[in-house]
Amino acid sequence: MALRTSLRSLARRLGRVIPVKWRLRAIEGVLRLQEPGVRRLYNRTAVAPNYLTIDDLDALAREFPVERQTYLYDADTLEKRGEERARPLLDLVAGKGTFLEIGAADGMVLRAIAQRGHTAIGVDILASNLDARAREAGVRFIQTDATRLCFPDESVDVVYSFATFEHLPDPDATFAEIVRVLKKGGYACIDFAGLGWTYRGAHMYKTFGIPFITALFTRETIDRYVAEHQLPHYFPSINNWPIERFREVFRKYEPQMERIRYSETKDRFHFRFIRRFMPHLRRAPSFDSLLVDQVEGLFRKR
Ligand SMILES: C[S@@+](CC[C@H](N)C(=O)[O-])C[C@H]1O[C@@H](n2cnc3c(N)ncnc32)[C@H](O)[C@@H]1O
State pLDDT tens for residues 199-242: 998 999 999 999 999 999 999 999 999 999 999 998 999 999 99
Residue 163 Cβ inside 6 Å of ligand 1? The answer reads yes
CB distance 127 to ligand 1 below 6 Å: no
Give percent of the chain with pLDDT exceeding 90: 89
Please state, in angstroms and rounded to a whole number, the distance separating the CA atoms of residues 163 and 148: 19
Residue 174 has pLDDT above 90, yes or no: yes
- Number of Cβ within 10 Å of residue 223's Cβ equals 13
Q: pLDDT confidence of 1, banded at 50, 70, 90?
A: low
Say how many C-beta atoms besides its own lie within 10 A of residue 181's C-beta: 20
Mean pLDDT of 53-61: 98
For residues 96-102, average pLDDT: 98
Of 19-28, 212-221, 254-263, the range with the lowest mean pLDDT is 19-28
CA 73 to ligand 1: nearest atom: 9
pLDDT of 279: 98
Find the DSSP H helices in the chain: 2-17, 20-44, 54-63, 75-90, 108-114, 132-136, 171-181, 213-216, 219-228, 243-252, 271-276, 278-281, 287-291
Provide mean pLDDT across the span 179-192.
Answer: 98
pLDDT of residue 297: 98
Distance between terminal CA atoms of the chain?
Answer: 65
| Mean pLDDT of the region 105-116 | 98
Q: What is the model's pTM? A: 0.92
Count, residues in the chain = 302
The pLDDT confidence band at residue 15, using thresholds 50, 70 and 90, is confident
The answer to whether residue 176 scores a pLDDT higher than 70 is yes
- Ligand 1 center to residue 249 CA distance, Å? 19
> Which ligand 1 atom is at minimum distance from the Cα of 145?
20
Phi and psi at residue 21, to the nearest 5°: -60, -40
Q: What is the mean pLDDT of residues 163-189?
A: 98
Residue 29 backbone phi and psi in degrees, to 5:
-60, -45
Per-residue pLDDT at 183: 98
**Confidence band for 12, pLDDT divided at 50, 70 and 90:** confident
Q: Does the CB atom of residue 105 touch ligand 1 within 6 A?
A: yes
